[in-house]
Structure 1
Amino acid sequence: MPRILVTGAAGAVGSLVRPRLARPGRTLRLLDVMPLEPGEGEEAVQASVTDADAMRAACEGVDAVIHLGGISLEAPWERILHVNIHGTYTVFEAARRAGVPRVVFASSNHVVGYRTPAEYPLTADTPPLPDTYYGVSKATGEALGALYHHRYGLDVICVRIMTCFAEPPNPRALSTWLSPDDCARLLEACLAVEKPGYRIVHGVSANTRGGWVSLDEARALGYAPADDAEAHAETVHAAHGEPAPDDPVFAYLGGPFTFPDLDADRLQ
């Protein structure tokens, strides 16, 4: 696809995949509230995903939208509602009005964060059980994607991203890591697959300690993960120690997002 709009391009995942999505003959239109310096084959737009006019203009002439923009952690309801829920609606609506045929939506494993190991591997058909307002916003984004596909014909792929960092940040991530290279591979599969319709897939690498979520739906798009968090296991355990099997971080898929410090009355 020759021109792709990437929202949240200055964020954590956006910064990791931006150089990995560069291709000869492709233009990346990068949108973020933070200023960006465009490189070769890039265009920069400083705007919020909540700005309908700016989003409509940013969607003009693009072949697909990769929607990464939004708050990536838990936050008070008002902020989540405005940025993640209203902002995602604004992106879908702008794409529809501009005639963009495909949206790849960065969803999250926190849509099903209260699922337990007894239910693994989770699939695209696992009903939502969000662990936070953030998880609720991603479940809402998936629902919006379904609406915009069935009512308006947009191709929509919702990627439930697991732990996407340059390296696994902790022992839990040895099971949930999505390497930056694999993240780019998955996004490319989402862009390339013909007539996907509406899909939900999980974004995770081929980790030896995986099996928490199914990769079948992502592989069906053409995704072929090449990385394994096990290559980092020795370094991770040297830094953090070996966790106990009954560590609460393993009680639910959402890990620390299920902990009491994210209860609504403790949020600032």
Structure 2
Amino acid sequence: MPTILITGAAGQIGTMLRPRLARPGRALRLLDVVPIAAGPGEEAVTASVTDLTAMTRACDGADAVIHLGGIPSEAPWDRILDVNINGAYVVFEAARRAGVARVVFASSNHAVGFSPRSQFPVPDYAFPAPDTYYGVSKAAGEALAALYSRRYGIDAICVRILSCFARPASVRMLSTWLSPDDAGRLFEACLTAPSPGFRVVFGVSANSRGGWVSLAEARALGYEPRDDAEAYAAEVIAARGEPDPDDPAARYLGGEFTFPALDAGNLS
């Protein structure tokens, strides 16, 4: 029975993915620092991604790891370093020690958040242009993925997720939304694509107002988005106003993560 270990399984994206990755004959091993009530076809592990011994034990017998665990937004450097950067190392090293063949790493558009609008669509494998310490941690995770793929032969796919929410909550998200169902399709493609090696792909739906990033590599893995944020456009615009082409949030891919409010001196 194929076993998929999901770190950060109690988080927003992990919760979305659980029912969408469930398959007959597949076991989902759910790991988080908070206890999880496991359902049919699931098992729960309470552990931290920073604990190499616990992670190696959790990886034992797994066919693939989806690494979602970590601090999900900007935070002071010491916390990002411990949980996101060291945690990514621990996950890849635990996978290597346990003989796991594939790791799907939840990266972020914030690894290239300072990509300017003039460069849209941002190409697959765009050079890191992080907008925050959080973005730096995602770029570091991608570098670890490249190392563990090329040195140890692990299939390692980095998914630069844009805005994965139940529905778009801002005008910007009309361009950057990744629907829960499309997230399921994308991660399923990452799990099942034959011999992908090292890949960096973007995660976004088929939004009419999209075109901010490339989907070529994601499609090469077998991903075909079906959802469109335009279904929510009237509702979002009624609440937030018409899109402003001069809105600073649209100046860079990272949106508000590029704003001075997240300068280092303002973090606590």
TM-score when normalising by structure 2 = 0.99
In the alignment, the residues of structure 2 paired with residue 125 and residue 171 of structure 1 have an alpha-carbon distance, to the nearest angstrom, of 26
Q: Deviations over 1:12-33 (max 9, x none)?
A: 1111111111111111000000
Structure 2 residues not aligned, in runs of 5+: none
Equivalent residue number for residue 124 of structure 2: 124
State the shift of 1:169 in Å. 1.1
Equivalent residue number for residue 137 of structure 2: 137
SS of 1:20's partner is helix
Equivalent residue number for residue 157 of structure 2: 157
State the shift of 1:241 in Å. 1.3
In the alignment, the residues of structure 2 paired with residue 202 and residue 244 of structure 1 have an alpha-carbon distance, to the nearest angstrom, of 25
TM-score when normalising by structure 1 = 0.99
State the shift of 1:219 in Å. 0.3
Equivalent residue number for residue 199 of structure 2: 199
In the alignment, the residues of structure 2 paired with residue 240 and residue 25 of structure 1 have an alpha-carbon distance, to the nearest angstrom, of 45
Structure 1 residues not aligned, in runs of 5+: none
In the alignment, the residues of structure 1 paired with residue 123 and residue 154 of structure 2 have an alpha-carbon distance, to the nearest angstrom, of 23
The reply on whether 1:256 has 2:256 as its aligned counterpart is yes
State the shift of 1:61 in Å. 0.4
In the alignment, the residues of structure 2 paired with residue 123 and residue 176 of structure 1 have an alpha-carbon distance, to the nearest angstrom, of 15
In the alignment, the residues of structure 2 paired with residue 236 and residue 98 of structure 1 have an alpha-carbon distance, to the nearest angstrom, of 46
For 2:126, give the aligned amino acid: T
SS of 1:72's partner is coil
Q: Deviations over 1:217-245 (max 9, x none)?
A: 10000001110110110111112111321
**What pairs up with 1:1-268 in 2 under 5 angstroms?**
2-268=2-268
- After TM superposition, the runs of 4+ consecutive aligned structure 1 residues lying more than 6 A away are none
State the shift of 1:126 in Å. 1.5
Q: Deviations over 1:73-97 (max 9, x none)?
A: 0000000000000000000000000
Given that 2:205 and 2:225 are in contact with CA atoms closer than 8 Å, whether structure 1 keeps it comes out as yes
Q: Deviations over 1:171-211 (max 9, x none)?
A: 10000000000001000000111100000000000100000
Given that 2:107 and 2:142 are in contact with CA atoms closer than 8 Å, whether structure 1 keeps it comes out as yes
In the alignment, the residues of structure 2 paired with residue 185 and residue 125 of structure 1 have an alpha-carbon distance, to the nearest angstrom, of 21
In the alignment, the residues of structure 1 paired with residue 244 and residue 144 of structure 2 have an alpha-carbon distance, to the nearest angstrom, of 39
In the alignment, the residues of structure 1 paired with residue 241 and residue 46 of structure 2 have an alpha-carbon distance, to the nearest angstrom, of 42
In the alignment, the residues of structure 1 paired with residue 12 and residue 264 of structure 2 have an alpha-carbon distance, to the nearest angstrom, of 25
State the shift of 1:124 in Å. 1.7
